[in-house]
Amino acid sequence: MNFTSLTFLIFLTIVFALYWLFPQRRAQNLLLLITSYVFYGWWDYRFCGLMFASSLIDYAAGLGIASATSPFRRRVWLSCSVAMNLGMLATFKYFNFFTESFAALAATLGWQVDPFTIQVILPVGISFYTFQTMSYTIDVYRGELKACRCLIDFCAFVSFFPQLVAGPLERASNLLPQFERERRFDEKLATDGLRLMLWGFFKKLVLADGLAPIVNARFNDIPASSGPQLLLATICFAFQIYCDFSAYSDIAIGTARQFGITLMRNFNHPYCAASLSDFWRRWHISLSTWLRDYVYFPLGGSRGTALQCTTAILLTFLISGFWHGAAWHFVAWGLLHGIATAATRGRTLRLPWLSSRWDWLSHAVAVGLTFSFVCLSWILFRAATLADARTILTKIAFKSFRSREWLDLPGDLGNQSRVTLVVLGLFILSEWFLRKYEHPIQLARLPLPVRWAAYTLLIWGTLELMPLTSNSDFIYFQF
């Protein structure tokens, strides 16, 4: 079931109405548990069994850790939880990658190895809920969270449908306690949630789906595309993936607020960042902070020597790239960000020949350089292979540039794409000038007629500007 489908809107309306008919938390949690499995099973009911197995394993591990009488037994329970979760990820997401990579390595050494592969469907959202449940057992082991005694509460926390498929990747210490306490309808919270959902629908349907034809036309036909066309497609992809993923997060957070549940903010105007470290504090915040707390800090983080810190950064980003996909171009993307982040860590760009009153110019240059690096690195993320990424970068860097090629948009979608690019320009301006706000339609202080006029304009603008052949799948479903 997709957020941008009519089916989801009907589903949400029914669940919302039933949810607030129940006055007690246990009944509300049971309803959320049932409806979350319906939501998840809409793709493939077989996925539900895997998620329930993951929930049972970590529920039992949490109780085992809490009741263990020795540090050794606590470590055994934690190890079982981590091994089972990583084992599921390795089987469903990485098994074929490992075997095929081994066969390719053997071939370079002159050995003929037929890789053994398994034909399995990648369960939607498995990378998210396995990391989320691992955070629970790790926090219980660290003594930062009490073990959950109610299986319904725990399973509802794991399967909570707004953030189940693509995040935010919630910490157990933030989300689970909300399922363990009574909730009352908060009109202000729910109303702001609706505003956030509306903004998310606009970003997904108008911008992300509107930019997709430009990106797909060039990245799917690299030999026939020129350097300027590929550069434009790369810039468009930078905003496509941002609008697509942040839109999912906005809709997820807004939907959760309808049930009195608060999810963490996942994006904070990342393309306004003035350094790579700043970018990763703003982009996919839930994953970045998860990796920081459960990978980077345990490896020594900033508390160790310069070598230990650099090693921790590189390993953290390597895991981040690998988390995104079982392919070498994802690994290269993560490693590239790791190297660049380690090299620029603790450094702030300042143009030395300018006085302090011109610091804004230094900041603007830093933002531009950071965006340029992030934008070009997205080529590794979007390209199908490392060879394709190399070809794209070569064309952008060395092939001749002709100004008219910038407007040579794909086929009969040209007019629609030009409108999308104009809207994108307005969106970029709103991102910059309203970067202090969570989203641009926080209009609570304006008169009611003005607010409703803005909402109506955004709704009709979305319906009018969205592509007729909109691709409703979110990019991060594949991760």
Q: Catalytic amino acids? A: 324
Q: What is the DSSP track for 228-274? A: HHHHHHHHHHHHHHHHHHHHHHHHHHHHHHTTT--PPP--S-GGG-S
Residue 173 tokens, joined: 């210490």
Cα 218 from Cα 421, distance rounded (Å): 16
Q: What angle do CA 104, 106, 108 make, to 5 degrees?
A: 75
CB 340 within 8 A of CB 251: no
CB 180 within 8 A of CB 55: no
- Nearest of 296, 277, 297, 280 to residue 288 by alpha carbon: 280
CA dihedral 165, 163, 330, 301 (to 10 degrees): -140
Q: Count of H helices and E strands in the chain?
A: 20, 0
Q: What is the DSSP track for 122-186? A: --TTHHHHHHHHHHHHHHHHHTSSPPP--HHHHHHHHH-HHHHTT-----HHHHHHHHSS-----
Locate tokens 């009488």: which residue?
Answer: 69
Residue 110: Cβ-neighbour burial (10 angstroms; 0-12, 13-18, 19+): exposed
Measured CA to CA in angstroms, residue 318 lies from 59, 132, 274, 314, 426 at distances of 29, 19, 22, 6, 35
Residue 247 tokens, joined: 């839109």
Locate tokens 């070598």: which residue?
Answer: 307
Residue 264: Cβ-neighbour burial (10 angstroms; 0-12, 13-18, 19+): middle
